[in-house]
């Protein structure tokens, strides 16, 4: 089967600013944990909910060996070898 691919990257950079007297790692990077446990899971859920609305496309996560804390690849695929169901 012949297959084509196109890549689109949406990168998030997390930043936290602290007062001058902060000496580093005092909070054990709690702000990163908030991203990992609350914000990122909700964002991924919303992405997949949105992608599922597009008929003929399927979405799944692909792991290419990178840590999921550093990268999550979402594959949006369309198979033109299969006909779409007819709808009015």
- SS3 for 26-50 is CCCCHHHHHHHHHHHHHHHHHHHHH
pTM: 0.77
State the number of CA atoms in the 13 A half-sphere of 75 facing the CB.
Answer: 10
pLDDT given at position 63 = 86
pLDDT given at position 87 = 67
Q: 16 with 31: CB under 8 angstroms? A: yes
* pLDDT of the chain, 88 residues: tens digit per residue: 899 999 999 999 999 998 988 887 778 889 999 999 999 999 999 999 999 999 999 999 998 888 999 999 999 999 988 776 666 6
Measured CA to CA, the distance from residue 57 to residue 49 in angstroms comes to 12
pLDDT given at position 84 = 63
């Amino acid at each position: 089967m012949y297959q084509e691919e196109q890549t689109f990257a949406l990168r998030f950079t997390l930043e936290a600013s602290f007062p001058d007297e902060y000496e580093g790692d005092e909070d054990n990077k709690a702000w990163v944990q908030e991203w990992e446990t609350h914000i990122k899971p909700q964002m991924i859920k919303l992405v997949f909910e949105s992608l599922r609305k597009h008929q003929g496309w399927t979405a799944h996560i692909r792991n290419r060996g990178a840590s999921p804390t550093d990268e999550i690849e979402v594959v949006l695929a369309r198979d033109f070898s299969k006909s779409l169901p007819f709808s009015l």
